[in-house]
Amino acid sequence: MRFMQINQFYSAYLDQFYAARPGLAEQPFQDQIAAILADGSGGVHMRSRHMAALGYDCLHVVSNCIPAQFRWAAENGLPVPQSYQDLERLVAHQIDRFRPDVLYLLDTVAWGAERIRALAHRPPLVLGWNAAVIPAPVDWSEIDVMLSSDEGCLRLVVEYGAKSSRFFRPHFPAFIAAAAADQPKQWDVVFTGQITPDHGDRIHRLCEVAKAPMSARGEFTPAFFLAQPNPRLMPAGLCQYDHGSVWGMEMYRVMKSARIMLNVHIDMAAKKSLNMRTFETIGTGSFLLTEYSDVLEEYFISGQEVETYRTLDEMIDKIYYYLDHEREREAIARRGQQRCLRDYSAEQGALELDQMIREHLG
């Protein structure tokens, strides 16, 4: 069975990735994709290499990775794309030539019904993923199953035309944990991620963390690694602790360098429990402090495998408590990682996805 995954990465990450690897852009298409996947960026959603281990014939396309896409065009006798529209047409060529049985789309905003209908080969099963803000209008009537780890999103995607929706969580690749295992602790409290207008609560909480070391309760070292498209969104209180965005394996090493990794979900999340950062942090073996949720309790035991907070004051209190109780903190981190790698591994995710595919294709 043929499985094709299509996703995009942040352009800043791709630029940084290729700049650090001179000569990679001249390598064969498959070698470039393999190098990107080995760096682990978005690894909790990268399914193709694990589906291949189950016997699927897989093709992975990073649609905005210009060096890899240019190379694929050259290898397949097609002209080099000259515009964004040419890049979109090139992806259609890749689908039509590979003729997948299953098309798995992560960048579902870019894949409305009209674009899927225009394909010469309409795959028997089109899967999509979304757990973020849904821009309106969008027509997902050609998406057979929309996957998400957020209940609010699962309700909305059907309103936008998806034929069905299904809960599906991120899964953590064990190779990332192994690659980051030797990273020593460096920072007391770390946050990595975006700040945008859709992250108001996140910005507020990070500002409070930034102010806490100046209080009478004592000092600690915050470190924020923030990706934000609009610099004007950066409050002055965050600037002094911001080290800029990190991606791929560098991001996982930053996570492992934290004594406490803080998690604050996007504002629209209906159940603040199962975003990428949850599995990325716990999977690397770092201690995670995140919002309380009944859903989270179904996957990790609070106080034993993860720690949670309900209010801002509780969040600050637990930062100070666990900085003072290293043995307890690290025991929670170890148990969480063991649970993650046992029950929520990328290999387990591939088995669940395989079962889902077989149910839909009969």
Label residue 163 exposed, middle or buried (CB < 10 Å: 0-12, 13-18, 19+). Answer: middle
State yes or no: pLDDT of 269 exceeds 60. Answer: no
pTM: 0.92
Nearby residues of 348 by Cβ (< 8 Å), 6 or more positions away? 171
Judged by DSSP in three states, 266 sits in coil
pLDDT at residue 216 above 80? no
Question: For 19-33, what is each residue's pLDDT tens digit?
Answer: 999 999 999 999 999
pLDDT digits over 286-327, tens only?
999 999 988 888 899 999 999 999 999 999 999 999 999 999
Write out the two tokens for 296: 């989270």
What band does 241 get if pLDDT is binned at 50, 70 and 90?
very high
Q: What is the pLDDT of residues 107-140, one digit of tens each?
A: 998 999 999 999 999 999 999 999 877 777 889 9
By the 10 Å C-beta count (0-12 exposed, 13-18 middle, 19+ buried), 358 is classed as exposed
Q: What is the pLDDT of residue 70?
A: 97
Tens of pLDDT along 46-85?
999 999 999 999 999 999 999 999 999 999 999 999 998 9
How much is the pLDDT for 195?
A: 84
Give the CATH fold of the 174-343 domain.
Rossmann fold (3.40.50)
Length of the chain as a residue count: 362
| Domain limits, the chain | 2-171+345-361, 174-343
pLDDT, mean over the chain: 93
Q: What is the pLDDT of residues 143-167, one digit of tens each?
A: 999 999 888 788 888 889 999 999 9
- Quick one: pLDDT at residue 150? 83
Please compute the mean of the pLDDT values over residues 175-187 and round it to a whole number: 97
Domains 2-171+345-361 and 174-343 in one fold: yes
**Contact at 8 Å (CB) between 277 and 191?**
no
Q: CA–CA separation, 109 vs 122, rounded Å? A: 18
CATH number assigned to the domain with residue range 2-171+345-361, chosen from the 4 options 1.25.40, 1.10.10, 1.20.1630, 3.40.50? 3.40.50
Spatial neighbors of 294 by CB under 8 A, at least 6 apart, are 271
Helix (H, G, I), strand (E, B), or coil: what is residue 112? coil
> Who wins on pLDDT, 233 or 265?
265
The per-residue pLDDT for 268 is: 60
> How many C-beta atoms surround the C-beta of residue 194 within 10 A?
15
> What is the per-residue pLDDT across 333-344, written as a single tens digit (0 to 9) for each?
999 999 999 999
Q: Which has more pLDDT, 269 or 139? A: 139
Q: By C-alpha distance, which of 24, 86, 89, 35 is closest to 60?
A: 35
